């Protein structure tokens, strides 16, 4: 049985129509958060997740919008404050992802990923923090970062830079907002079983193979969105009351692994 650590707390989750966002919305609802506001540009999927959140026992607020629009981000926060009487938890999770070699990457590709991942994190985080301070209530701001914030991957200069920026943003916000009772943390997932991974791998067949085995990860599998949602639920809860400015890595041991000697190089 899920603990109800978030009873009566209002939450806003971006990228909520699928993957980690959906799983986090359902986990928050199961833990007693209400209302749970869902912000995503995919209105059709958003409605489905809202129905699931309602079925889980929480009030759902559907906000169809784009995190690259500053005014829509600020309006989403304002709507939660108006309808819920205040905002307690923000999970800034909406992702942008693409691949391009550094020498061939266009400014447009760079700008899009930075805008969705990093700029929106700033705009949403600032709007949420201002609302919390104005309401005189403590709160929690959480970000989806990535193991890409901790090291490089070929063809992902924009993505890695955006995620590293998110981690530093969370740390800076944490030390500046601590006097207002606002905690700020990030979660860095490793490879996950999400629609984003399907887009990266290129086919359902490739994703199915990855589900069976992912050798670079010591646990030899993709992570589940629900496992990231559990990390967010912990960081949002009173159980994490003394944690701020932290980047919680949830990656099946990926970043703990330095190297292994290839079997073909070992004597038998």
Q: Which residues are catalytic?
A: 159
Neighbours of 243 (CB within 10 A): 14
Question: Which three-class secondary structure state does DSSP give residue 135?
Answer: helix
Are 82 and 131 in contact by the 8 Å Cβ rule? The answer is no
Q: 260 CB contacts (<8 Å, ≥6 apart)?
A: none
- For 180, residues 6+ apart whose C-beta sits below 8 A from its C-beta are 129, 132, 133, 138
The residues with which 187 forms a beta bridge, in sequence order, are 144, 248
Per the CB < 8 A criterion, the answer to whether 185 and 170 are in contact is yes
Q: How far apart are CA 36 and CA 26, in angstroms?
A: 9
Angle at 63 between CA 244 and CA 167, to 5 degrees: 25
The answer to whether 245 and 187 are in contact (CB under 8 A) is no
DSSP strand pairing (182-189 vs 139-144): parallel
Beta-sheet pairing, 60-64 with 182-189: unpaired
The CA distance from 198 to 208, in Å, is: 9
Length of the chain: 268
């Amino acid at each position: 049985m899920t603990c109800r650590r978030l009873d009566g707390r209002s939450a806003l989750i971006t990228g909520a129509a699928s993957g980690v966002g959906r799983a986090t919305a359902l986990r928050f609802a199961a833990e007693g958060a209400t209302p749970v506001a869902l912000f995503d540009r995919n209105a059709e999927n958003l409605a489905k997740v809202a129905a699931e959140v309602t079925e889980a026992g929480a009030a759902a607020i559907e906000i169809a919008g784009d995190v690259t629009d500053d005014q829509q981000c600020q309006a989403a926060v304002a709507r939660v404050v108006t309808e819920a009487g205040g905002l307690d938890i923000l999970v800034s999770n909406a992702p942008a992802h693409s691949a391009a070699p550094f020498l061939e990457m266009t400014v447009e590709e760079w700008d899009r990923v930075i805008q969705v991942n990093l700029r929106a994190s700033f705009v949403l985080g600032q709007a949420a923090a201002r609302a919390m301070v104005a309401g005189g209530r403590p709160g929690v701001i959480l970000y989806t970062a990535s193991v890409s914030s901790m090291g490089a991957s070929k063809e992902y200069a924009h993505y890695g830079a955006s995620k590293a920026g998110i981690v530093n943003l969370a740390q800076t916000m944490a030390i500046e907002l601590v006097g207002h009772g606002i905690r700020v943390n990030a979660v860095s997932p490793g490879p996950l079983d999400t629609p984003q991974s399907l887009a990266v791998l290129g086919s359902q067949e490739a994703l199915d193979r990855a589900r069976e085995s992912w050798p670079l990860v010591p646990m030899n599998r993709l992570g589940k969105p629900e496992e990231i949602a559990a990390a967010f639920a912990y960081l949002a809860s009173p159980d994490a009351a003394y944690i701020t400015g932290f980047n919680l890595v949830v990656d099946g041991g990926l970043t703990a692994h330095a190297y292994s000697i290839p079997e073909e190089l070992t004597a038998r």
